[in-house]
Copies of this chain bind each other. A is one copy, B any other.
């Protein structure tokens, strides 16, 4: 790697002058600056950003830690976060902790405060106390997609009202006349998606419909798991006229299971999910879902993280993200008597 000293030697100046050309050009005579820039160009010198970040006490890189990059929700969040970071002149590095708390802590130690100025953390298994300790000593940490706005964490966060998302799904199914609804509850990277199922159940109860524990299954957050669980649910409870899944992957798996079983969707059974991942509009029938506004939450998260880097907070604050919204597509319809 070409060093600053080699540039200085070629341009017949001191290393301090090269450094001034890079940072405070007004201090350097134009002729000298031109000579230095020519040497930089000839040698292909790249300022060592580690050194510069150290010298100036800042870098311009943010990190996003997430637990499972192969779950399509995360790449969609990454895409929007990276665009938002770039728009404000920051780079975004993504670290996949692979559903492993120890890996997560190792990444945090490697990057926080050194390679990255601030860290966005999404649903990793790292304990809040570990995150808190890192935030105190290294760089600001912001939790994105906090699922329980009613109980804020000890770190700054962007919360999403997932209980409301569940309630919106319930209202939609109730309006279509559904009473016998099966529940697929995801147990994913962020833990059990109970804010969503509790919100759903509370809205059903308010309409006089009590939850039937035998019509609910807790399963891992994947298409395969949704498929298998829906098969079990329909075998045990053939009278179900609708299925609510706490996320789109489960709902997409459930639709495939229903079609395999010979049930028409939505004519025989309606299906609704939560999130609105890209795949939700790409499958056929296209999935009705409650959009959690992934891109908007990602942008808000990047904006807040940059704010925390510029002005550290003494008391962690929670910001509520945009409200979830019902997106009606082709997988839900009026209940029909069979």
Q: Which residues of A contact B (CB under 8 A)?
A: 1-2, 43-46, 48-51, 53-54, 60-61, 63, 69-70, 72, 74-76, 78-79, 82-83, 86, 91-96, 98, 103, 106-107, 109-115, 133, 136-139, 223-224, 227, 253, 256, 259-260, 278-279, 282-284
Contact = CB atoms under 8 A, between A and B. Distances in A.
9 contacts: A46-B113, A48-B114, A49-B110, A50-B51, A50-B115, A70-B76, A93-B95, A94-B95, A223-B279
Copies of the protein in its oligomer: 2
A256 B1 CA distance: 52
Contacts of A69: 75, 78-79, 82, 94
Given A53-B50, A223-B282, A284-B256, A98 B74 contact: no
A282 B70 contact: no
Contacts of A137: 1-2, 43-46
Nearest to A96: B82
A31 to B, nearest CB: 26
B91 A110 contact: yes
A328 B224 CA distance: 19
Contacts of A94: 69, 78, 93-96
A305 to B, nearest CB: 17
Which 4 residue pairs are nearest across A and B when measured between Cβ atoms? A44-B137, A93-B93, A94-B94, A50-B50
Nearest to A93: B93
A253 B282 CA distance: 8
Given A70-B75, A72-B72, A109-B46, A227 B1 contact: no
A307 to B, nearest CB: 18
With a 10 A CB-CB cut-off, give which of A72, A92, A96 has the most chain B CB atoms.
A96
A18 B301 CA distance: 37
Contacts of A114: 46, 48-50
A61 B115 contact: yes
Contacts of A138: 1, 46
Contacts of A259: 284
Contacts of A260: 284
Contacts of A224: 282
Contacts of A46: 109, 112-114, 137-138
B110 A86 contact: no
